[in-house]
Amino acid sequence: MTRSTGDQSAITINSAIANRVSTRSYDVQPVAAEAITSCLEAARLAPSACNAQPWHFVVVTDPETRDELARLSLAPGGVMNRFVAEAPVIVAVVAERPNITSQIGAALKNKPFYLIDIGIAAEHFCLQATELGLGTCMIGWFAERKVRRLLGIPRGRRTVLLITLGRPADGATSRTAPAAEKSGSPHTLSGTDTPRRRKPLAAIASSRRYGQAWAEGLR
């Protein structure tokens, strides 16, 4: 992510995190190849357990395949995920087989390291898109087997996510928090004014022991 080095207009990691939203309405204009490559490069640089890099990104821009992916993303009833059809780019995130060290560690600790890795890489992709003024949405609901066949993904490989990518339609990135949350007010990241529906810090962090109230300045 770009940090400001004298140019006050440069986006910071803090503002990229705050401004990233799940975009569900897209402009029809195509996304430049350079922008897609930039997002892929950000994902490529993501950390992973034992440097396994267990991911592969299939970028789909042709209308026929996009339309079919959109159809395969619809939930029963055809209501959820209808916006996928608007996105000029859909990216399928495929789980590759991790290296042996990562596999052994995951088995010994009973933790799906590869899914953690893919989550990090996908967020890198989306934050880079935010920096470029693009919108994204990660989608977990789709007909996985049919997507695999459509995109020629080898047997034994799981398609973990679809990510829509495109320029948000007018007003699509606005986010309005409820007037009052259980905590009393919407929460924002430092230096931003973007309201988010998020739990307060006290609900998700502890000091020294689980459940012990979070204390700033902890040593």
Q: Which of 40-49, 72-81, 104-113, 148-157 has the lowest mean pLDDT?
A: 72-81
**pLDDT tops 90 at residue 89:** yes
**pLDDT tops 50 at residue 174:** no
Sorting pLDDT into bands at 50, 70 and 90, what band is 121?
A: very high
Sorting pLDDT into bands at 50, 70 and 90, what band is 38?
A: very high
pLDDT in tens, 95-117: 999 999 999 999 999 999 999 99
Phi then psi dihedrals of residue 89, to 5 deg: -135, 135
pLDDT > 70 fraction of the chain, expressed in percent and rounded: 82
pLDDT at 49: 97
Mean pLDDT of the chain: 86
Architecture of the domain defined by 15-166? 3-Layer(aba) Sandwich (3.40)
Q: 20 or 194, which is more confident?
A: 20
pLDDT at 15: 87
pLDDT at 172: 66
Contact indicator for 53, 117 with CB cutoff of 8 Å = yes
pTM for the whole structure: 0.84
Can you read off the two tokens belonging to residue 184? 């009393």
**pLDDT (mean) for 135-149:** 97
Contact indicator for 164, 136 with CB cutoff of 8 Å = yes
**pLDDT (mean) for 59-66:** 98
Q: What one-character-per-residue DSSP string does 140-156 give?
A: --S-HHHHHHHHTPPTT
Phi then psi dihedrals of residue 109, to 5 deg: -100, 0
Query: What are the strands of the beta sheet with 55-60, ordered from one edge?
Result: 55-60, 89-95, 158-166, 135-139
